[in-house]
Chain A
Amino acid sequence: SYVLTQPPSVSVAPGKTAGITCGGNNIGGKSVHWYQQKPGQAPVLVISYDRDRPSGIPERFSGSNSGHTATLTISRVEAGDEADYYCQVWDSSGDHDVVFGGGTKLTVL
């Protein structure tokens, strides 16, 4: 089965830029979606199809995907961005499966 690897934690100072990676074999050939989850809440979609921002998501959130790594970048980080972030793909090889990464805890210092 397809595996997505995320760093368990990322720390960043307010106003700086945070990068959260999502590694997978030839992930650049797949569409990657990103979710933000705050404690006790349902996940919220922040990026779809590698780099598309849904309505209502700040421009500070952006995405990229190439080779074996997809990246969610959060610019000008705010305290309210502190949350868990998950990447997600559809693995169409073999048994079709929706796969989530292990999640990354973003801490705003």
Chain B
Amino acid sequence: QLQLQESGPGLVKPSETLSLTCTVSGGSINLSTYFWGWIRQPPGKVLEWIGSVFYTGSTHYKPSLKSRVTISVATSENQFSLRLSSVTAADTAVYYCARVTGTGGGFFDYWGQGMLVTVSS
């Protein structure tokens, strides 16, 4: 059974960089069938896609976040990571990692449990 687990600091100061890692177990990230994505959800609000990465390192980012986002993949460790720079309180959210299946952006069929990241001084 594929499992994904987010990890990283739960508290980030304003203007700093948020960094999270997703560890994939029960399956290889090094497959040509899937992308791997990050989605976030501010408390009480809706889901927002951040971006996705292929095992080759090819990425897609949400246009409105593109200038601040970097998603990378470490196939040898079966992990992929998110970096979001210049954070503000508006970036406070539960961050999910997920597997992306299908063509044309696809859908998210396996999700991590989510990790709350709070931006505060």
List residues of A whose CB falls within 8 A of some B CB.
1, 31, 33, 35, 37, 41-45, 48-49, 54, 86, 88-92, 95-103
Please tell me if the beta carbons of B112 and A88 are within 8 angstroms of each other in the complex: no
List residues of B whose CB falls within 8 A of some A CB.
37, 46-49, 52, 60, 62-64, 96, 101-102, 104-109, 111-114
How far apart sit A35 and B96, CA to CA, in the bound complex (Å)?
Answer: 14
| Contacts between chains A and B (CB distance < 8 A), count | 63
Residues of A within 8 A of B48 (CB): 100
CB within 8 Å for A97 and B47 given contacts A90-B106, A92-B104, A92-B105? no
Residues of A within 8 A of B108 (CB): 33, 35, 43, 45, 88
- Please give the distance in Å from A61's CB to the nearest CB on chain B: 15
A and B contact pairs by CB, cutoff 8 A, 18 listed: A33-B108, A41-B113, A42-B96, A42-B112, A42-B113, A43-B96, A45-B107, A45-B109, A48-B101, A48-B102, A86-B47, A89-B105, A90-B105, A91-B105, A97-B49, A97-B63, A99-B49, A103-B47
Residues of B within 8 A of A103 (CB): 46-47
How far apart sit A101 and B96, CA to CA, in the bound complex (Å)?
Answer: 17
- Please give the distance in Å from A30's CB to the nearest CB on chain B: 8
Contacting residue for B107 out of A48, A92, A97, CB 8 A = A48
